[in-house]
Amino acid sequence: MKFILVLLFTAKPLLMTSIQPLASITKELVGEKYRVESLLNGQQNPHTYEPSPGDIGKVERAALYFEVGLNLESWGDRMCKAARKCIKVGEILKERGVPIKNPHIWLDPVKAKKIAGVIVEELVSVFPQDSTDFYSNLSKFEARVDSLISWTRSKTEILTDKKFISYHPAWEDFAHTLGFDLVDVVVEHGSKEVSTKRLAEVIKEAKNKGVRVIVVEKGFPSRVPHIIASEINGRAVELDPLFSGYYVDEMKKNIENLIKGLKWQK
């Protein structure tokens, strides 16, 4: 019994998130004193995921549950009903006047800082004893993100070709913030199929504007981006929107992969 009581008093508080990128940001803000877990791994699609009873149990036990909202998680409301406290970070930002085109807000580094700010506000409300650490970690996170933005813009400023098209709309704000030129998006948010007419339109525009790169997301295979790449005599570049490592490190990998693709010549 004594051993069990020790475990109860020493166990790290559990914080749950819907997707890995939110868990990545949260981990950087809370440090080692808290346990942070994501419901989805990096290979699962948040639009189509179906939570298990075990997932619901984890959310019930968590001190806080964070999700994006904005219709990213079609199952999110079920998790929120089970949670002690559910925070929809994207919807909070939208209510505060942050312009949001699509729910993949964490892929915009500027919005990632705002996400981190919302998370810290909620952490402080539940764990005020660690507020100093939370705000200190937030400052460090923001500084690392600012450095990433500056580094990327220094690279994109000297690129001779910044143009790409994206299969999904996830990369719109990413491109705008970091100095890339997103020419077109093949499918709208939530769409699953591409009509023959739409495919022809995208290929024609890409050829007219000299686009040689189409971005496809890791874990969401489709033949269409590779068909487009072949038609435009270009290449498909795979980026990972649902990464699980440190935020800045994983975003830098995506940026480097895109830059490498833009520099490529067939």
CATH number at residue 250: 3.40.50.1980
**pLDDT at residue number 9:** 46
Long-range contacts (CB closer than 8 Å, 24 or more residues apart) made by 187-196: 189/71, 189/102, 189/103, 190/47, 190/71, 194/224
> 128 with 255, same domain?
no
Instruction: Using 50 as the pLDDT threshold, list the residues of the chain that sit under it.
Output: 2-9
Beta carbons within 8 Å of 104's beta carbon, 6+ residues apart:
72, 169, 170, 171, 173, 241
User: Do residues 136 and 42 share a domain?
Assistant: yes
Range of the domain at 56: 2-152
C-alpha atoms less than 13 angstroms from C-alpha of 14 in its C-beta half-sphere:
13
**Are 123 and 166 in a shared domain?**
no
pTM to 2 decimal places: 0.92
Residue 7: per-residue pLDDT? 40
24-46 pLDDT, tens digit each? 999 999 999 999 999 988 677 88
> Phi, psi (5° rounding) for residue 184?
-160, 160
